[in-house]
């Protein structure tokens, strides 16, 4: 596709509950970077990938669902770290299932190497893929994946 014909991709990055505490929250599991540090790294990818990236953090399930709906209407790809909602939110699962856009679930930590309850994601079956265990890089890999899908 020519550069002129290519619509500038947009990616909506959603951080779920408790991720606003990064930097001080369980550093052994999540590292010492703050959410602001991580957002800056994510936004740094926008120029390289020639896309628009927005990031936001939401503690509530309903707010996350509203952002998913808006992204779907706009045709924006979704990169979501749903935090603990990953493990039990059927409402977020239904919102993602209804969003016909590229979508990737990401986790900072390797959820499969932690407590039993973190090994199950009720969202994983309705997204294109899951990236877990690479710290802030999980987000960058997720953004690259959805932009590649939008470019196809
Ligand atoms: C997390 C993993 C979840 O199990 C946990 O509830 C989080 C963060 C991660 O990024 O590793 O809040 O999504």
CA-to-CA distance for 10 and 13, rounded, in angstroms?
10
Does residue 107 carry a catalytic annotation?
yes
Does residue 30 carry a catalytic annotation?
yes
CA-to-CA distance for 129 and 142, rounded, in angstroms?
8
Residue ranges per structural domain of the chain: 10-151
CATH of 10-151, one of 3.20.20.150, 3.40.50.9100, 1.10.260.40, 3.90.1150.10: 3.40.50.9100
CA-to-CA distance for 9 and 79, rounded, in angstroms?
13
Q: pLDDT by residue (tens digit) across 60-90?
A: 999 999 999 999 999 999 999 999 999 999 9
For helices 136-151 and 35-49, the axis angle rounded to 10 degrees is 30
> Atom 12 (ligand 1): residue with closest C-alpha?
83
Q: Are 84 and 29 in contact (CB under 8 A)?
A: no
pTM for this prediction: 0.95
Whole-number Å distance, alpha carbon 55 to ligand 1 midpoint, is 17
Q: pLDDT by residue (tens digit) across 94-118?
A: 999 999 999 999 999 999 999 999 9
Q: Per-residue confidence at 144, pLDDT binned at 50, 70, 90?
A: very high
């Amino acid at each position: 596709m020519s550069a002129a014909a290519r619509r500038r991709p947009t990616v909506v990055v959603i951080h779920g509950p408790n991720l606003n505490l990064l930097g001080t929250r369980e550093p052994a599991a999540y590292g010492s970077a703050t959410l602001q540090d991580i957002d800056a790294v994510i936004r740094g990818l926008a120029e390289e990938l020639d896309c628009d990236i927005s990031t936001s953090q939401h503690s509530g399930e309903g707010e996350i669902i509203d952002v998913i709906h808006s992204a779907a209407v706009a045709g924006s790809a979704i990169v979501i770290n749903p935090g603990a909602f990953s493990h039990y939110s059927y409402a977020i699962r239904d919102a993602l299932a209804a969003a016909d856009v590229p979508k990737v679930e990401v986790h900072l930590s390797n959820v499969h190497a932690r407590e039993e309850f973190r090994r199950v994601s009720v969202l994983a079956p309705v997204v294109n893929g899951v990236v877990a265990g690479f710290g802030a890089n999980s987000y960058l890999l997720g953004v690259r994946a959805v932009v590649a899908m939008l470019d196809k």
